[in-house]
């Protein structure tokens, strides 16, 4: 039995998402790039690269990982490239997307040998969190002034427009894309490609995938561009869990179960956005599931179980792929979860285990 805690990636569940991506690509003509900012666990890239066209990145290290571990088409984006990064970035990338006109002009000569794009901010988004809203007031994420963009159109071949966030509403996507068409259509017609970013929850239950595909096809045909999508969460939703063990039970007004993991260290997004973890369980025995760090608010959430919990019980926390392994940290020196893959035949493969040497080397 593999020692907890560990992230468990299930290839069969991943296959379900990959099949939807295949269907969307085939019907729409759009290409799909894995957004490494959400999921960069390369031991399953062998499976994903059969169904996706490449990767997109947010930093030099993500860019290099995409080129070396995934291959295929490699898009390079960063909010800000540094002088010492640009030559290496251009060496790894097929396309480089600049966040601002200033960066495009600053690195004009260094980037001239590959295709270049610019991030376009449409000044609206679907994000329900100000923290993650790319169109928030005074946003630094992309250019929005069509007049300014017009002055550099001869230097770029594409736009990246990332404005969706877990958007499961196709009609809203349709209306917002129509706004982009109306406001920036003159510029779009002069491009070779347009990335519509990530955040479209097209692998969610009941999402009208064919409608999305037809809408993307119509956009491509209207403007004569190659559309890219950058699925992160959509590529891996429902495909992984965080496996933990109960290490203590106590009652301080509620029944509490402490597990050998930490929200702060292992599922940080839950803490940042004040969300509860998901656990597929139900019953008449309520418990607050708590992490083992010293942070008072290190709480996974409150859940009902079919029987009373005991020390040694194993629990499975769902939806543990996106924004988990890319954000895990060594807070409190809590042991970092191993990475385990459930193969298609049901067997478990331990891909990576982290120990004291990893903790020590991360600090000096």
- Residues 191-241: tens digit of each pLDDT: 999 999 999 999 999 999 999 999 999 999 999 999 999 999 999 999 999
pLDDT at res. 255: 98
pLDDT at res. 148: 97
Beta bridge mates, 80: none
Q: How far is CA 221 from CA 28, 192, 214, 363, in A?
A: 10, 12, 10, 52
Ranges of each domain in the chain: 11-235, 240-320+328-361
State the Cα–Cα distance between residues 195 and 164, nearest whole angstrom. Answer: 12
Helix 209-223 × helix 11-28 angle, to 10°: 40
pLDDT in tens, 213-224: 999 999 999 999
pLDDT in tens, 132-167: 999 999 999 999 999 999 999 999 999 999 999 999
pLDDT at res. 240: 98
Q: What is the mean pLDDT of the chain?
A: 97
Helix 170-188 × helix 209-223 angle, to 10°: 10
Q: How far is CA 104 from CA 120, 157, 227, in A?
A: 13, 12, 22
Beta bridge mates, 256: 250, 288
pLDDT at res. 345: 98
Superfamily of 240-320+328-361 according to CATH: Lyase, Ornithine Decarboxylase; Chain A, domain 1 (2.40.37.10)
Residue 280 marked ligand-binding: no
Q: Which helix (H) or strand (E) holds 10?
A: strand 6-10
CB atoms within 10 A of CB 29: 14
Residue 84 neighbours by CB under 8 Å, 6+ apart: none
For 33, the token pair is 């790039």
8 Å CB contact between 5 and 242: yes
pTM of the shown model:
0.96
State the alpha helices, DSSP H only, in the chain: 11-28, 45-48, 60-65, 86-92, 101-106, 108-111, 146-150, 170-188, 209-223, 233-236, 263-266, 268-272, 356-361
Q: Assess whether pLDDT exceeds 90 at residue 325.
A: yes
Mean pLDDT of 337-358: 98
Residue 233 marked ligand-binding: yes
Q: Assess whether pLDDT exceeds 90 at residue 128.
A: no
Q: Which helix (H) or strand (E) holds 289?
A: strand 285-290
pLDDT-wise least confident of 121-130, 187-196, 353-362: 121-130
pLDDT in tens, 75-126: 999 999 999 999 999 999 999 999 999 999 999 999 999 999 999 999 999 9
State the Cα–Cα distance between residues 190 and 293, nearest whole angstrom. Answer: 53
State the Cα–Cα distance between residues 93 and 57, nearest whole angstrom. Answer: 10
State the Cα–Cα distance between residues 60 and 48, nearest whole angstrom. Answer: 21
Handedness of CA 328, 329, 330, 332 (dihedral sign): negative
> How far out from the chain centre does Cα 326 lie?
9
Express the helix, strand and coil content of the chain in percent, nearest 5 each: 35, 25, 45
- CA-nearest of 282, 280, 250, 244 to 263 is 244
Residue 23 neighbours by CB under 8 Å, 6+ apart: 209, 213
pLDDT at res. 221: 98
Q: Which residues of 308-345 are buried (b: 16+ CB within 10 A; e: fewer)?
A: ebeeebebebebbbbbbbbebeebeebbbbbbbbbeee
- CA-nearest of 81, 142, 90, 85 to 111 is 90
**What class, spelled out in words, does domain 11-235 have in CATH?**
alpha beta
């Amino acid at each position: 039995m593999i020692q907890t805690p560990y992230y468990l990636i299930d290839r069969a569940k991943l296959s379900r998402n990959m099949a939807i991506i295949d269907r969307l690509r085939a019907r729409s003509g759009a290409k799909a790039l894995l957004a490494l900012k959400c999921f960069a666990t390369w031991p399953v890239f062998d499976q994903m690269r059969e169904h996706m066209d490449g990767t997109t990145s947010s930093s030099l290290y993500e860019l290099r990982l995409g080129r070396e571990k995934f291959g295929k088409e490699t898009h390079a984006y960063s909010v800000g490239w540094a002088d010492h990064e640009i030559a290496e970035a251009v060496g790894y990338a097929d396309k480089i997307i600049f966040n601002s006109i200033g960066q495009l002009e600053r690195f004009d000569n260094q980037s001239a040998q590959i295709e270049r794009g610019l991030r376009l901010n449409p000044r609206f988004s679907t994000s329900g969190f100000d923290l993650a809203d790319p169109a928030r007031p005074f946003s630094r994420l992309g250019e929005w002034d069509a007049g300014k963009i017009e002055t550099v159109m001869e230097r770029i071949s594409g736009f990246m427009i990332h404005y969706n966030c877990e958007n499961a509403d196709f009609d809203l996507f349709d209306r917002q894309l129509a706004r982009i068409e109306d406001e920036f259509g003159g510029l779009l017609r002069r491009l070779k490609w347009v990335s519509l970013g990530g955040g479209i929850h097209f692998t969610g239950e009941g999402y009208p995938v064919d409608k999305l595909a037809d809408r993307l096809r119509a956009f491509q045909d209207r403007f004569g561009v190659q559309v890219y999508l950058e699925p992160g969460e959509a590529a891996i939703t429902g495909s992984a869990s965080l496996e933990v063990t109960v290490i203590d039970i106590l009652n301080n007004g509620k029944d509490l179960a402490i597990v050998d993991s930490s929200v702060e260290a292992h599922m940080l997004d839950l803490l940042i956005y004040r969300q509860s973890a998901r656990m597929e369980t139900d019953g008449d025995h309520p418990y607050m599931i708590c992490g083992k760090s010293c942070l008072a608010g290190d709480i996974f959430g409150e859940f009902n179980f079919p029987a009373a919990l005991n020390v040694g019980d194993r629990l499975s926390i769902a939806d543990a792929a996106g924004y988990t392994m890319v954000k895990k940290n060594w807070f409190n020196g809590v042991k970092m979860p191993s990475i385990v893959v459930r193969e298609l035949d049901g067997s478990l493969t331990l891909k990576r285990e982290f120990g004291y040497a990893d903790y020590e080397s991360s600090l000096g």
